[in-house]
Structure 1
Amino acid sequence: MSNLSVQTLKQGQNYTARELDNFVSTKDVVVLSNNENQLFTDPEREYKVVHEFEGFFEHSMEDAEKHFRNKKAYVVEKV
């Protein structure tokens, strides 16, 4: 993909770390990667979107409850 201004991620497509960085910087999303904290270390490394979720549950330390967050979440893995 040559367009760095990605507006949406599509399951099954590959994106460079640079494209993902730009996307995350401009959208309110969560990205989970199988290479942990190294997602943005090599801007040209490619990742495939393997799952897309409309939201997720998280535990709140404030009220000790689980809350559903209506926030896009993507799982990517190195290609």
Structure 2
Amino acid sequence: MSKPGLNTLKPGANYFAKELDSFVSSTDVVLLSTNDSQIFSDPERQYKVIHEFDGFFEHSSDDGEKYFREKKAYVVEKV
């Protein structure tokens, strides 16, 4: 399993919610979960990384334009 201080997640690997919590707190990433807002409610629940993206498009409410953000994004699902 992974160690504290993760700097990346691997697609196909499982992680405890507490590991994902630490990862998100220390890394500039986006984490999308199929478990809605309950991802951190049980620190021992495991999640599998389904997809990894190098970036995403984001709509700016300031100017109405869409911009590509080069920022890691991961999709995880409850195991």
TM-score normalised by L of structure 1: 0.96
Runs of 4+ in 1 over 6 A off after TM superposition: none
| Unmatched 5+ stretches in structure 1 | none
Shift of 1:69: 0.4
Shift of 1:2: 5.4
TM-score, normalised to structure 2, is 0.96
Alignment partners' CA distance in 1, 2:7 and 2:57: 25
Matched, 1:30 2:24: no
Q: CA RMSD in A?
A: 0.9
Q: Which segments of 5 or more consecutive residues in structure 2 lack a partner in the other structure? A: none
Equivalent position of 1:49 in the other structure:
49
| 1:73 aligned onto 2:73 | yes
C-alpha distance 2-12 of structure 1, shift in aligned 2 (>3 A): closer
